[in-house]
Amino acid sequence: MRIDYCLLVPAAAILMSCAGGPGVAPEVKIEASSTPQQLRELLESIRERTDVGAMMGRARIYNRLREMEKTISPTLLAMGDASDVDVLSHGGSAGAKAESAARLAAHFRERAENPLLSRSSFPGHLGEPMRRIVLLTVSAFFGESASRREMALSLEKLSSASMEFAEREALSPEAVKLWRSRAAAASARALELGSSSDPVEPSVDARNFCESEPSRHIEEGTRSADLGTREKASRSEMDGVVQWYVLALAHYAVVRETAVELTPAQEHALAGQEIIVRSLCDLICREP
């Protein structure tokens, strides 16, 4: 008697075909879910799925829940953003990546302007304005991978925050000049982006940043911090040191803000944020 093994495949194995190869994961449709309860039930139904379609579904559902519940919840925001980070780092389609990057760019702008949505807190009298600059730097990276509009919006905010930072009395004359220059560069790039409607091709740096998994962000954050410290010790140009330190903080911020629950190893690595901020402030402030 011939046994048709295709009939023995459990219904739960929906992602596999009878031929043994991977099938197409079913689309996660949220349009029919009109209440928070229905959305949470849909979330539960895809909890075990690890395909990109489920990652995108979770990101959309969490975003819809935020809109419906109108609550200020850094945890809910982080859960949705964690799913979008998954989409970007697990080979989503170009359209899916652009959608996820756009959401992340917008959400990091929200965090920059509203500390209640942010899990990042930097020490010292320059801690809060530095937090804004770091989160807007993250937003600009994701904006570059999203669209011309998202990138321009993030750069405009970054330019404004950098100019405000330059007005801080504690900064040295060299640092004031540096932050004004950074503000002008971000503003000029934003204006350039607004002058055309052609698609923007993300730089290699932006693509690598946006498509990194949390573990990679930790690695790159630590590497950037080490490079900044070396340049500071060798009395290199301030601009180079600041660039490395801000990049390190940006990598760490992605993990701090989007991890649903930090592992002990992540907590240990992110403890370096405070050291970087203090070292950066020591570099750019006037002598007492």
C-alpha angle 83-115-44 in degrees, rounded to nearest 5? 25
- Radius of gyration for the alpha carbons in the chain, expressed in angstroms and rounded: 22
pLDDT at 6: 39
Mean of the pLDDT values across residues 144-155? 96
Is the overall model pTM greater than 0.85, yes or no?
Answer: yes
Where along the chain do its domains lie?
A: 121-284
What is the predicted pLDDT for the residue at 4?
Answer: 44
What does the pLDDT average to over 95-123? Answer: 96
Here the tokens at position 277 are 């901020």
State the pLDDT at residue 162: 98
Could you read off the pLDDT of 198-229 as tens digits, one per residue?
888 899 999 999 999 999 999 999 999 999 99
Nearest to 255 by CA among 223, 212, 226: 212
Q: d(Cα 98, Cα 244) in Å, to the nearest integer?
A: 26
